[in-house]
Amino acid sequence: METSRRNFLSAAAGAAGLSVAGVTPAFAKIEPEPWGIKLGIATYTFRSFDRAKCIESLKAVQSPWVGVKDGVHFPFPGTPESLKQARAEFDAAGLKVVSVGNLPFPKDDPDDIRQRFEFVKNLGLSQTVCIPTRASIKTVEKFAKEYKIRLAIHNHGPEQKDFPSPQSVLEVVKDMDPLVGLCIDVGHTARTGVDVVESIALAGNRLFEMHVKDLRFFKDSPSGEKAISSQCDCGEGIMPFAAIFKQLKKMNFQGCVNLEYEINGKDPLPGTLRSFSYMRGVLAGLAAA
């Protein structure tokens, strides 16, 4: 049974891989929302490229959903005109920009915080993936309510003292305005030692966006090899993608599941395509089950 399952997923992934490479066999079809999941990409993946090259790479992936990196593909702070133009280039390519980030809110300074909300507003967006501090979060919440912009707080693993895990975010935001929620990064989550699928379930309707990646191991090895350095193409590691997708389906998650491919920065497209092929294959298998 397990061998058959692997063969099926491999075939489905292979079909998706051929399609994203520009070869579309008769039996292959790229779904914008496979199994009802908005499978997208964080443009941090293409951080080494300018906006034009980034958009070219995004079109090769054949997924419309994107979270755009501030200060790289959207100028920060930028003028209203420059931000409108930058956004228009993504729109013209048929890409659906769902958020900008990870936007930091490092200071509990209303002027600094307002500048960042103006940045999101001038992009015509209603959501930002962000990194506040525990000192700034209350003031940031006030601005979220004023601007009616959702905050998807990104957990950043054991190196980040304020918000390492989804649980650490939920602890702070549980009684805040519904505009304040999470962007769960599954790689950083796994490295904190908590269960990824359980963390997604705990987030519930506070989960606004997801960043996904794969790791070969979740804990630093006794020899000193760091788990954060074990990122690999999706499907080559131990991230439980099928269980993650099942939990999101169970929750009727309406946000985007964005690949954040952080390795091979100078040439990320091949690994990005392989990762999408694998995830599309898993979703095809789940849809057919």
User: How many structural domains are present in the chain?
Assistant: 1
pLDDT digits (tens, 9 = 90+) for 223-281: 889 999 999 999 999 999 999 999 999 999 999 999 999 999 999 999 999 999 999 99
Domain of 256: which CATH number?
3.20.20.150
Q: Kindly calculate the radius of gyration of the chain based on its CA atoms and give it in whole angstroms.
A: 19
Report the percent of the chain where pLDDT is more than 70: 90
pLDDT digits (tens, 9 = 90+) for 100-139: 999 999 999 999 999 999 999 999 999 999 999 999 999 9
Decide if pLDDT at 6 tops 60: no
**SS3 state of residue 253:** coil
Locate the DSSP E strands across 114-221: 127-132, 150-154, 180-185, 207-212, 214-215
Sign of the dihedral through C-alpha 153, 155, 159, 161: positive
How confident is the model at residue 185, as a pLDDT?
98
Domain of residue 153 covers: 2-288
Q: pTM, whole model, 2 decimals?
A: 0.90
**SS3 state of residue 121:** helix
Question: How do beta strands 214-215 and 231-232 pair?
Answer: antiparallel
Q: How confident is the model at residue 28 (pLDDT cuts 50, 70, 90)?
A: low
Amino acid type, 176: M
